[in-house]
Structure 1
Amino acid sequence: MITFQQEILNLVKCFRRQWHLFSNSERTTVCGADCMLMALQLSMAEVNKQLHGDFTVSLSDVLETWNYLLHEKLGLSYENMKETENYADVKKAYDAFLARSNMLDLIDIYQKCCSLGLLPEDESIAPVQLLEFISGITNVQENTGSVLSTPSTHVNRQGQEHMKASMLAKKSVCSYLSLLVNSKDDLALAHVLNVPDRGLDREAFTDLKHVSQKRKMSIFLMATSFIRTIELGGRDCASSLYDPLRAHVKGLSNFINFSDKLQEIVGETLNPRIAGGRILSTVKMHLIKGRSNGDPFCQAVEEVVQDLDLKIKNIIDSQQEILTASTTGVSPTR
């Protein structure tokens, strides 16, 4: 019997195969639960900044709005919920953020697949199931027994540290890959702008974000434009618009140069198996540079890269097998 997580994975695969029915760009990426929540938080902060001059937002307000947003988007009953303050503005900002980032959230993909009848009948997903999955309830229920019955020990603490390092490693590697596919993905950029440490703290990200908004550009494109201008020494180099970014030249230059290196691999390596391996290897070396071999993060990065490398090769092999099977016995001229 197919698991619910497999059904979600098939949902995303359906989007990948039929991307032209969902978006104008094949580089559109999927915004999962974590990214949806982060996008909402940034949208709420932006609205709060516009209305009250304060960019901060409380966690309780974010979670309350998050719950309301999920119920509304999924068409589930929210009669007993009170619409959160400035919800219409927040929802508009959230949708605009995803559009600017060339992303679709999991609910949008689910609803589009359902409306087009792209999912098999035996893999139908109920809105409440998707709500539980995005909210994390499904995973909690699956793990409740083991979590509650396991005492806190040194081994468990080590396991928690390994899990934390593994999550950070996976997020870092996948964010670099996501940026390679979709340079407008501001959430991915936020994850790796200062990973590894480039001296680009929250202030640097905020400065970059504000300048990109003034130029109506993605954050990555803004950073690239700034560094290219500095390198070429053009007329725009003296622009006052760039003033907030001048303090971050070194870190931004490091980030853009590394991104260029990944793009070069894509452009120079025609074999996708080799290209995928080289990209992952380059990202791995970049992330673990300067760290000791026994560092939990280094070990986690190694595991994540090995796993992704195998998955990429399996996908490529599977696609080639399908292509070979579909063309067997058929003349190339046909």
Structure 2
Amino acid sequence: MSAFQQKILNLIKCFRRQWPLFSNSERTTVCGADCMLMALQLSMAEVNKQHCGDFTVSLSDVLETWKYLLHDKLGLSYENMKEPENYADVKKAYHAFLARTNMLDLIDIYQKFYGLGLVSEDESIAPVQLLEFISGIMNVQENNGYVLSTPSTPVNRQSQKNVKVTMLAKKCVCSYLSLLVNSKDDLSLAHILNVPDRGLGREAFTNLKHASQKRKMSIFLMATSFIRTIELGGRGCASSLFDPLRVHVKGLSNFVNFIDKLQEIVGEILNPRIAGGRILSTFFFFFFFGRSNGDPFCHFFFFFFFDLDLKIKNIIFFFFFFFTASTTGVSPA
């Protein structure tokens, strides 16, 4: 980890400790570069739908607006950049999306820290540095001195594919954990709604999204409300017979019940390290039960879970050893 990355990490840690200064909820999610970009894309599509009737947006328009938005929010010069079409509406929709999903992006946290004077001189971050970090320019510059260009071969292509699948596995696990903390995190839900395959494709997500907008609640809470209505019956059950979500009952029930299991673990086990191990075991069973051993996605999930499990056990062992040594008067060294 570079010195600058450590500064960003320290910024987020400080935010976690002093969250009441920044947000009304302890469960606020920090929105990194990838989530910021996705939130912007969804916001632009929403604005396009209002103006043109189509919930679509081109990649080139997203990247152009992304560049402009970063300069605008960081207060950097963008005189040579043309303001994107409907930019004011897009910016408003972007911040409304973050507020609705209980999220703050890195720039918001950075600006609030500096506004409150909570950043020491040693931990100071220049706006240009944050721009390069979010844009990925800094990471490329740091890696240029270490990564040699290699010819494209079947082995190299397979290695690159392995890295992508491993990153996808990490993203899925982190998205589950993020949704567990912040039930309004629609971006995380979009990543994991159909992972593993539950038959909840684009149609299911679209129906769920429209239903959540109609009832003005998060997508996850909409799914939970719908499944609870089906399970408990009552007055709402009759109307649900004609609900577009009815065809997705099996998949949504599977998803909601799995999140319920994770929430039970968090609620019943107070020790976060033990709870983390139990959650990991639940993930392991859930992702591998009934899946083929030859499934590459399953294969990389296995190694990712194994690595996480080992780290958790090492942490538990360290604290147990340290506590035992401190109570017996024997130095851990």
Taking structure 1 as the reference length, the TM-score comes to 0.90
Aligned length, in residue pairs: 324
The superposition leaves residues 118-154 of structure 1 with CA deviations (integer Å, 9 ceiling, x where unpaired) of 2221121111111111111111222335556211122
Corresponding position of 2:278: 278
2:135 is equivalent to residue 138 of structure 1: no
Corresponding position of 2:329: none
Are the counterparts in 1 of residues 74 and 107 from structure 2 also a CA contact under 8 Å? Answer: yes
> Gapped runs of 5+ residues in structure 2?
324-333
Q: Which amino acid aligns with 1:202?
A: R
Are the counterparts in 1 of residues 169 and 304 from structure 2 also a CA contact under 8 Å? Answer: yes
Are the counterparts in 1 of residues 230 and 240 from structure 2 also a CA contact under 8 Å? Answer: no
Corresponding position of 1:11: 11
Corresponding position of 1:302: 302
Q: Which amino acid aligns with 2:252?
A: L
2:242 is equivalent to residue 251 of structure 1: no
- CA separation of 1:14/1:310 partners in 2, compared to 1, >3 Å: closer, same or farther? farther
- CA separation of 1:82/1:137 partners in 2, compared to 1, >3 Å: closer, same or farther? same
- CA separation of 1:292/1:143 partners in 2, compared to 1, >3 Å: closer, same or farther? farther
2:205 is equivalent to residue 205 of structure 1: yes
Report the aligned-residue RMSD: 2.6
Q: Which has the higher contact order (CA 8 A, sep 6+)?
A: 1
SS of the aligned residue for 2:243 comes to: helix
SS of the aligned residue for 1:104 comes to: strand
- CA separation of 1:155/1:300 partners in 2, compared to 1, >3 Å: closer, same or farther? same
Are the counterparts in 2 of residues 211 and 241 from structure 1 also a CA contact under 8 Å? Answer: no
Are the counterparts in 2 of residues 272 and 316 from structure 1 also a CA contact under 8 Å? Answer: no
CA distance in 2 between counterparts of 1:121 and 1:152 reads: 45
Q: Which amino acid aligns with 1:4?
A: F
- CA separation of 1:70/1:43 partners in 2, compared to 1, >3 Å: closer, same or farther? same
CA distance in 1 between counterparts of 2:311 and 2:119 reads: 23
243-252 vs 212-221, greater mean Cα deviation:
243-252
2:101 is equivalent to residue 101 of structure 1: yes
CA distance in 2 between counterparts of 1:66 and 1:162 reads: 29
Are the counterparts in 2 of residues 101 and 186 from structure 1 also a CA contact under 8 Å? Answer: yes
- CA separation of 1:285/1:188 partners in 2, compared to 1, >3 Å: closer, same or farther? same
SS of the aligned residue for 2:30 comes to: strand
Q: Which amino acid aligns with 2:301?
A: V
49-58 vs 280-289, greater mean Cα deviation:
280-289
Corresponding position of 2:291: 291
2:58 is equivalent to residue 58 of structure 1: yes
CA distance in 1 between counterparts of 2:310 and 2:40 reads: 33
Corresponding position of 1:160: 160
- CA separation of 1:155/1:259 partners in 2, compared to 1, >3 Å: closer, same or farther? same
The superposition leaves residues 301-329 of structure 1 with CA deviations (integer Å, 9 ceiling, x where unpaired) of 234334445666788899999x9xxxxxx
Corresponding position of 1:191: 191
- CA separation of 1:99/1:62 partners in 2, compared to 1, >3 Å: closer, same or farther? same
Corresponding position of 1:120: 120
2:232 is equivalent to residue 232 of structure 1: yes
